[in-house]
Structure 1
Amino acid sequence: MKLFLIGYRGTGKTMIAKILATAWNCEWADSDGEIERRSGKSIAQIFSQDGEASFRKLEIEVVRDLATGPHKVVSLGGGAVMGTENRTTIAAQGLTCWLQATPATIAQRLEQDSATKSQRPDLTPLGGLEEIQTVLDQRFSVYQSCADFEFDTEGKSPNQVADEILVTVAKEQKMNS
């Protein structure tokens, strides 16, 4: 089985993917990290030097590659599911969990993350909380349509969210066996 974690940046996808992979004794992967590895550039550099279209093209290849192979947990970049090809790939290959938090919490988490400014490009000219709310509004219905399960990360540690996912996925597997 493959499990895909989706949601806005700062919702804990990468940290929770690592915890789940340890619990299941399987591989984990981060699509943005793999894009950076393959390109030799940060996400922000790709956006500024090559443009978003170039980033999205590489993202499609990476998501397709990460969706193949053995049992694993994959943390997807916040905008990965906006591409139809990526949505089709993940729907065919495993379960998808949408990690959520309020815009204020996301803004606080991103502000505390030292990598945010150097590695994550602004997505609109707005910046900050206004940008988060605008982009979440644009992505909400897509996240919702992709998600097999939704998890609120508000006020919870990554371990608590991972535990909720473990219980939910175990129930799902039991129902389908």
Structure 2
Amino acid sequence: MTGGATARPNVIVLVGYRGTGKSTVGRLLAERLGWRFFDTDDHVEAAAGKSIRDIFATDGELAFRERESEALTELCQRGTCVIATGGGAVLREANRELLKSSGFVVWLTATPETVLARLQSDPTTGARRPNLTAVGGEEEVRALIAFRAPLYRATANCAVATDALSPETLTDAILSARAESQSARAS
């Protein structure tokens, strides 16, 4: 998979379902590179003055997706940064195209079991993030990962499975994949 020809070498974008490690790994990547780190969910919450759960409850998912697209547009223009996107950022074609043209895009993957365990052990998940379907839980995780996988795949330059790797090892893997991609483009 390749990104757009105009992708900036000084932007790394992490995509993937919630609980795959985008924020954790993104912070480590930014620290290692000496770059800034941005989390689109944090950006949306700060701009709205309320949690994603509250945005969904009061304004609806469409309003949240609009705010998310605005955040992506702003953050992708900053350069020299690592951006952790929300799990649904790839749902809009315009977002996918923006991400592909903005930098090196990495799809962080994990099995539904891993994602569910991580979400259940994160004390902030319930307060910040709503269920995205009426069923919630494992059934939701399985269904949404399956539905979104082709969108993540179409957007990303590479995919990295996060199930059994430490954040430090994931950071190394992403930097190696990025270096290989830059070498291949230079040849």
Do they fold alike, i.e. is TM over 0.5?
Answer: yes
Query: Aligned AA for 2:39?
Result: D
Aligned counterpart in structure 2 of residue 128 of structure 1, from 137, 162, 179:
137
The range that moved more, 163-172 or 6-15, is 163-172
Taking structure 2 as the reference length, what is the TM-score of the superposition? Answer: 0.92
Q: Deviations over 1:58-104 (max 9, x none)?
A: 11110000000221110000000111111111111111100000000
Equivalent pairs, count: 177
Q: Quote the residue 1:53 is aligned against.
A: 62
Gap runs ≥5 in structure 1: none
Gap runs ≥5 in structure 2: 1-9
Among all aligned residue pairs of Structure 1 and Structure 2, give the percentage whose two residues are the same amino acid.
Answer: 37
Q: Quote the residue 1:151 is aligned against.
A: 160
Query: Aligned AA for 1:56?
Result: R
Partners of 1:21 and 1:172 in 2: how far apart?
A: 18
Matched, 1:113 2:117: no
How large is the RMSD of aligned CA atoms in angstroms? Answer: 0.9
Name the SS of the counterpart of 1:110 in structure 2. helix
Instruction: Detail structure 1 runs of 4+ shifted over 4 Å in the superposition.
Output: none
Map 1:1-177 onto structure 2 (within 5 A): 1-177=10-186
Query: Aligned AA for 2:104?
Result: L
Partners of 1:106 and 1:34 in 2: how far apart?
A: 23
Taking structure 1 as the reference length, what is the TM-score of the superposition? Answer: 0.97
Deviation at 1:134, TM superposition (A): 0.7
Partners of 2:61 and 2:159 in 1: how far apart?
A: 28
Deviation at 1:174, TM superposition (A): 2.6
Partners of 1:99 and 1:70 in 2: how far apart?
A: 21
Deviation at 1:35, TM superposition (A): 0.1
Deviation at 1:172, TM superposition (A): 1.7
Q: Deviations over 1:138-163 (max 9, x none)?
A: 11111111111000001111111111
Query: Aligned AA for 1:19?
Result: L
Name the SS of the counterpart of 1:19 in structure 2. helix
Partners of 1:105 and 1:137 in 2: how far apart?
A: 15
